[in-house]
Structure 1
Amino acid sequence: MVYEKNQLLTVEIIDMTTDGEGIGKIDGYPFFVKDAIIGDKAQIRVTRVKKNYAYGRLEKVLTPSSFRVETKCPFHKRCGGCQIQAMSYERQLQFKESKVKNNLIRIGGFAPEFLDKVMEPIVGMGEPFHYRNKALYPIGMDKEGNPVAGFYAGRTHSIIANTDCSLGVKENKEILEIILSYMKENHISAYDEATGKGFIRHVLIRKGFQSGEIMVCLVINSKIGKKNSTFLPNQDRLIGSLSNIKGMTSISVSINRERTNVVMGKEVHTIWGKDSIKDIIYVRNVENNFAATGRGITFSISPLSFYQINPVQTEKLYSLALSYAGITGKEVVWDLYCGIGTISLFLASNAKQVYGVEIVPQAIEDAKRNAAYNDIENVQFFVGNAEEIFPEKYEKDGIRADVVVVDPPRKGCDKACLDTVLKMASERIVYVSCDSATLARDLRILCADGYEIEKVRTVDMFPMTVHTEACVLLAKRKSIKEKSLVVERVV
């Protein structure tokens, strides 16, 4: 049968893509439907037709899936942030665990029966809402000329006005409403991407979950540097209102006059309070269902710092990485793509020596400050590409590692890094990944040349979204026979 655009059809949703789209089939021909849930019987309108598949828009749920739930946010369909909020949390966890496993099979080439042995249960959240310690709100103007804050609609830069995101902390709403009221009272315009004109571009809000400290940074389209530290019209009025909020610790502005999608400017000026906030990440006992141990590391977080957005799950993820590393106090450890040193400092408490490398200079400065603040001396940080620094320190300076920890960006590890890991032949590798597709690709390479997966565990860092993290322990292969656990060798 030939399908046409705008045609109305009825389909049963039998599966979901890794991006959270429902998959329905008619006579074997697949339709991809946003906002549809596995088990839905739905009426869809065809939006795009290809030779081997088509896209449809969900018009009506005729028979809801047993996994479909009432959503907390009325904007979840329009906003690109919560792709699977309409799915029960239990089913979300199954979806994410399957996503990791399927990528390891399809891309990594690992046998399903082998993965059944090494995959441990997914680590979920008790309360999967209001977990984000960071929010970045674009600021715009509505049709009546009033300032609005919210999030971009999926795949657009059109702002959906919403100051009360169900994933953010409760203080976000109060802070945003103060800023919007201040803008309206003082006739301050929002930035317009099309013209490059307007004043306030974004608002960054960060909160330390353990410390309770709050940071607000306004990204402004303004000329750099005023000698009296006044960057905003009627600045004291805004500071007076924001500083009354419980926990408010830092108020700053970031100067960004570039016509770019990059949000934060390179120059940040504190206009009230401290330059940074602090938070504590506690080590948890993995063997005892992640029970608290009382051991914590304090981190200083600036507006430009990278810091995991879900502190509850971060403690579990990093404690899992520490557990997998199996450190006894004698080991030298490399932490590649170390950020502000979060995993490095976790490892240092048990290791002989830790080396961290990160390309962002500000992150390394933060890492060094965090090490000093926590009186951790057995860690050294390097600025640069991991694929350059790591091989150089091994080949020229002879610095090897008993354990290598990698936590790369979504693109995965660079080939030069993997080559050096293989040459170094460390006893163990702990791979922390935010993208299971590139994780599978890299594991395939490592397991084709000397390593074997011992454990895999998915950690749900981003409930209500399709994104997830995974932690993998690899050890040097003990025998040739274990190669059979990889479906085929990488050439």
Structure 2
Amino acid sequence: MEKRIEIGDRLEVTMDSVAFGGSGVGRHGRLVLFVPFAVDGDTVEIEIDGIRRSYATGRICRILNPSPFRTEAKCPHYERCGGCQYQHIAYAHQLELKKRQVGEALARIGKVPDPPVREVLPSPMPYAYRGKAEFHLRFAPGKSALIGYKEAADSRIVPVSRCEIVDESINRSLDMLRKKLEGPSPSNRRGGKGEERVVLWSEAGAASVEPGHSPVRGNRVLRQVKGKILRVPAWGFFQANSSLVETMVDTVVRACALSGAENLLDAYCGSGLFSLFLAPRVQRLFGVDGDREAIGCAEENLREEGVSNGEFYAGDVGEILKKHFLERKTPVDVVVLDPPRIGCSADVLDGLLRLKPSRIVYISCNPTTQARDMRRLLDGGYTLKELQPLDMFPQTKHIEVAGILER
């Protein structure tokens, strides 16, 4: 009879795989073990720190025999800072793991046998690729401001002097911010707020920015993609990987397979990154997003490029889908979906099934919610043709996937 595992027990375990989310997976008898910062091939001594009905979690005490896929993390804050989960894994193997995880999500959640997953498109820059970073600031009377990221295990701030995955111009801005905030914080500093966030944008990927100058202009940031200038809200969303964003645009354009005669709906369009390159290739383009400021940027971005066949709506995607397309019987041939990480709401998916576009290009940074939503669309008559992962987030557990569905 196997000894019952308890909190604090130490075990020797060999890791078999890496789960979506970043934890290494091993077994002790029939018990599944999840161990952060482990990689398949590692033999490690762990201490059990959590027990559930069907699995347990542990932390690495010692690496007894390192995996051939293990490498040295570049960041001194790694394993404390919550930003990265894969720096201990060689980059080529990160790509293999992410491809496998995308396929597993579609098979397990989407119930798709043998999903058509292509090879992951790698980032040209495995480090120093982020064009935007959000830091947390904490102020306490009589103390210098604390600047950093949230800790991986809880909500405490990990002070960071630099970040290895952001463009170097962001690290320079971070250093300037730190020097600006040096010295004790009075009790009324920052209007009495104890904690706040600050967003820093890179000079790389920016339009018309001199070295050493901020790319932020008022409440907007100018980004340049494939020779075109995009205006983005300073606090708004934009694709994180400056070195791979052009490849992502090309991937989406290819996936749409346009002839020039289509009506295309760009749902969750943000500031119009995809719209800007899709509109010249279709008869009419409709963009929808819940962020009114982003919609204003999208309209301006197309107008400044001389593109006049785009119409944009600010509001809930499901409601606008019903009011402006289903009730008015506005035909749509192709839909580009790029929802937030939580995926699409039921009314959006139901609306798409009623709208019946011939092709849906579903872009997601969360394969689990994408698989869930795709199952609904597949049940509604669509066929999954392709899944193209793009590694927009090297060194992290995240992966972007562009999926093509046809009916």
2:181 alignment partner, SS class: helix
TM-score, L = length of structure 1: 0.78
Equivalent-residue separation in structure 2 for 1:183 and 1:468 (angstroms) = 35
Q: Does residue 351 of structure 2 align to residue 383 of structure 1?
A: no
TM-score, L = length of structure 2: 0.93
Equivalent-residue separation in structure 1 for 2:119 and 2:350 (angstroms) = 31
Alignment-derived partner of residue 247 in structure 1: 213
1:184 alignment partner, SS class: coil
Classify 1:191/1:127 alpha carbon distance in 2 versus 1 (closer, same or farther; 3 Å). farther
Alignment-derived partner of residue 281 in structure 1: 225
Give the aligned length: 405
Structure 1 residue ranges without an equivalent (≥5):
215-243, 251-272, 283-295, 477-491
Contact 2:79 2:85 in 1 (8 A): yes
Q: Does residue 44 of structure 2 align to residue 42 of structure 1?
A: yes
Equivalent-residue separation in structure 1 for 2:265 and 2:160 (angstroms) = 43
1:26-175 matched pairs, under 5 angstroms:
26-112=28-114, 115=115, 118-140=116-138, 145-175=143-173
Displacement of 1:394 in angstroms is 2.1
Alignment-derived partner of residue 254 in structure 1: none
Q: Which residue identity is paired with 1:53?
A: Y
Alignment-derived partner of residue 340 in structure 1: 271
Equivalent-residue separation in structure 2 for 1:42 and 1:191 (angstroms) = 49
Alignment-derived partner of residue 259 in structure 1: none
Alignment-derived partner of residue 177 in structure 2: 179
Displacement of 1:427 in angstroms is 1.7
Q: Does residue 181 of structure 2 align to residue 206 of structure 1?
A: no
Q: Deviations over 1:268-316 (max 9, x none)?
A: xxxxx6543312112xxxxxxxxxxxxx331012312221111222221
Classify 1:415/1:51 alpha carbon distance in 2 versus 1 (closer, same or farther; 3 Å). closer
Equivalent-residue separation in structure 2 for 1:212 and 1:344 (angstroms) = 19
Equivalent-residue separation in structure 1 for 2:76 and 2:8 (angstroms) = 26
Classify 1:87/1:274 alpha carbon distance in 2 versus 1 (closer, same or farther; 3 Å). same
Q: Deviations over 1:191-243 (max 9, x none)?
A: 999xx9457733321125233666xxxxxxxxxxxxxxxxxxxxxxxxxxxxx
Equivalent-residue separation in structure 1 for 2:282 and 2:347 (angstroms) = 25
Contact 1:408 1:432 in 2 (8 A): yes
Classify 1:190/1:307 alpha carbon distance in 2 versus 1 (closer, same or farther; 3 Å). farther
Classify 1:177/1:39 alpha carbon distance in 2 versus 1 (closer, same or farther; 3 Å). same
Give percent identity, aligned residues only: 28
Contact 2:44 2:65 in 1 (8 A): yes
Structure 2 residue ranges without an equivalent (≥5):
none
Equivalent-residue separation in structure 2 for 1:199 and 1:213 (angstroms) = 35
Q: Which residue identity is paired with 1:209?
A: A
* Aligned with residue 403 of structure 1, among 317, 334, 339: 334
Equivalent-residue separation in structure 2 for 1:120 and 1:400 (angstroms) = 31
Contact 1:140 1:191 in 2 (8 A): no
Q: Does residue 254 of structure 2 align to residue 305 of structure 1?
A: no
Equivalent-residue separation in structure 2 for 1:31 and 1:171 (angstroms) = 40
Classify 1:367/1:212 alpha carbon distance in 2 versus 1 (closer, same or farther; 3 Å). closer
Equivalent-residue separation in structure 2 for 1:82 and 1:211 (angstroms) = 25
Classify 1:212/1:381 alpha carbon distance in 2 versus 1 (closer, same or farther; 3 Å). closer
Q: Deviations over 1:165-192 (max 9, x none)?
A: 001121233322222222225x445999
Contact 1:336 1:357 in 2 (8 A): yes
Q: Does residue 354 of structure 2 align to residue 423 of structure 1?
A: yes
1:61 alignment partner, SS class: strand
Displacement of 1:419 in angstroms is 2.0
